[in-house]
Amino acid sequence: MRDAINFLCEYAIDNGYNLRFALEPKPNEPRSDTYFATIGHMLAFIYTLDHPEMIGVNPEVAHEHMSGLNFVHGVAQALEAGKLFHIDLNDQKGPRYDQDLRFGSENIKSMFFLVRLLENNGYSGPRHFDAHAYRTEDEQGVWDFAAGCMRTYNILREKARRFDADPAVQELLATVNGGNSEHISWLGEVRNGYSKELANKLKEADFNPTALGQRGYQYEKLDQMAIEHILGIR
């Protein structure tokens, strides 16, 4: 696989083609195993290539669910790495085989957070629906299916916008991301890099597990707010 992709990249460069390639992970099917099962496997592989800058990922909702993984987290990691070149949107019920269902027709909460992630983090690549209508549809049914994929994406985009604009949500997020101001300032220092002084300061710090453990994080309340936005109550 590495030799083939290295060769392909050189071919594109040699011919002056301004191309990038997006690799699509999938854990199994048609046979029981594939080599690059998940977004994480692909990301690790990409950095072993001769031209990693030309290669990214094309994650698919159904494929990551077949591995039993959190698709939104995988896509976030690809985005953060600058490797989300393309995305295959569809839906999936459980881990059984690749279902390619209409986008947003099954995992509505997960798809809400997916759309919010894409829209809030500057994803500008294709929003591609790798999905298939039920085989029982006639031609009009297939067009209904295609419109449904796009309509649900747009609805979730609007829901995500309203969720982020909700003052109660913003207040909760500020609380969740708040906490001990001294600890938060240390996190900022850690982000700036290692130093012996900082390591010693952290070793000498007095963390009080009992007091820290008493803090409620209000994730239940926040999650319920997301559900209420999705259900159209807020």
DSSP state of 103: T
Q: How far is the CB of 90 from Mn ion (least distance, A)?
A: 7
- Judged by CB under 5 A, the chain residues 149 through 188 that form the site for Mn ion are none
DSSP state of 102: P
Smaller CB distance to Mn ion: residue 31 or 203? 31
Should residue 106 be labelled a site residue for Mn ion when binding is judged by CB under 5 A? Answer: no
In angstroms and rounded to an integer, the radius of gyration of the C-alpha atoms of the chain is: 22
The Cα 23–Cα 86 span in angstroms is: 9
The count of other CB atoms within 10 Å of the CB of residue 59 is 28
Q: How far is the CB of 70 from Mn ion (least distance, A)?
A: 18
The Cα 133–Cα 101 span in angstroms is: 7
Q: How far is the CB of 65 from Mn ion (least distance, A)?
A: 12
Should residue 60 be labelled a site residue for Mn ion when binding is judged by CB under 5 A? Answer: yes
Specify the stretch interacting with Mn ion by CB under 5 A; choose among 2-10, 31-39, 80-88, 211-219: 80-88
Q: How far is the CB of 88 from Mn ion (least distance, A)?
A: 4
Specify the stretch interacting with Mn ion by CB under 5 A; choose among 9-17, 42-50, 86-94, 203-211: 86-94
Identified binder of Mn ion from the candidate list 88, 91, 98, 106, rule CB under 5 A = 88
Smaller CB distance to Mn ion: residue 88 or 91? 88
The Cα 100–Cα 135 span in angstroms is: 12
Continuous H helices in the chain: 2-14, 39-46, 61-66, 71-80, 108-120, 139-165, 167-176, 181-191, 196-204, 209-213, 219-231
Smaller CB distance to Mn ion: residue 56 or 230? 56
The CA angle 46-104-156, to the nearest 5 degrees, is 95
> Who contacts 119 (Cβ-Cβ below 8 Å, separation ≥6)?
157, 160, 161
Should residue 91 be labelled a site residue for Mn ion when binding is judged by CB under 5 A? Answer: no
Specify the stretch interacting with Mn ion by CB under 5 A; choose among 10-18, 32-40, 124-132, 151-159: 124-132
Smaller CB distance to Mn ion: residue 64 or 88? 88
The CA angle 113-174-152, to the nearest 5 degrees, is 20
- Judged by CB under 5 A, the chain residues 1 through 40 that form the site for Mn ion are none
Smaller CB distance to Mn ion: residue 106 or 130? 130
Identified binder of Mn ion from the candidate list 130, 145, 159, 230, rule CB under 5 A = 130
Kindly list the residues in this chain that would bind Mn ion in the complex (CB under 5 A): 60, 88, 130
